[in-house]
Amino acid sequence: MQTVASDADWLETLLAERTHTFIDEFGSFYAWLEGSFGGGTLLLWMQRSMLAGVLPQLPRQFKGRMVLGLDASEGHAVPFARALHWANPRWALVVCPGEGLGLAYPGRKEVAEGEWVSWDDPREARQLEVVLRPEFSYLEPRAYAPWQAPPPAALPTFAGPPVGAVGWERGIPTYGLGLVGLDRSLQSLLEAWRLC
């Protein structure tokens, strides 16, 4: 039986053969899926291990462009911010466990390794240095701002992703999208955003 990592490797190779792909300086993998004429760009951001569960649930027809972004980090905000730069989306969806839409995050910060407290002064948060290669590292401030968004479609809700505020601060509507029933939830959003 194949492991999840080997499934992701194989699927990335398949995407690279059939679509325009790119790997950025953070190790994030991107695949641009082109739909029919019209519509905008939608970033679908996920952990690399989720790709095998997401691909079969993607719509066969949509308008605009869908960019699959595979996060090589542990859900850090710095690589997500860079993904927003590379994809330049009109909307962003962060795939999460659960079902439906993630519409809010209360804000939290990590003050010591593994010790999370509520959001108040983000300057007190732990700074995590992530070394990707000997010549490249980044500083991840372990403070994730609170955010709340109106529902774009009538779907079940769950707690949104911590990185959601990064998108909203840039004027990009950003939501969590549950892996369970992703196909139905994504179809509802595409209809609400007139992308199908």
175 falls within a domain: yes
pTM of the shown model: 0.91
Instruction: Select from 146, 149, 172, 11 the least CA-distant residue to 83.
Output: 172
114 falls within a domain: no
2 falls within a domain: no
152 falls within a domain: yes
Domain that includes residue 94, residue range: 7-107+125-193
**pLDDT, tens digit (0-9, with 9 covering 90-100), for 112-138:** 999 999 988 888 999 999 999 999 999
147 falls within a domain: yes
**pLDDT, tens digit (0-9, with 9 covering 90-100), for 132-155:** 999 999 999 999 999 999 999 999
pLDDT higher than threshold 50 for residue 5: no
- Give the count of domains, the chain: 1
136 falls within a domain: yes
Long-range contacts of 134-141 (CB under 8 A, 24+ apart): 136/25, 138/26, 138/78, 138/79, 139/78, 140/73, 140/76, 140/77, 140/78, 141/77
Asked if residues 54 and 43 have their Cβ atoms less than 8 Å apart, the reply is no
Q: Between the CA of residue 163 and those of 5, 76, 80, 106, 117, what are the distances in Å?
A: 24, 7, 7, 11, 16
Asked if residues 114 and 189 have their Cβ atoms less than 8 Å apart, the reply is no
76 falls within a domain: yes
Radius of gyration of the CA atoms of the chain, in A: 17
DSSP β-bridge partners for residue 175:
93
Instruction: Give the CATH number, domain containing residue 55.
Output: 3.40.630.10
55 falls within a domain: yes
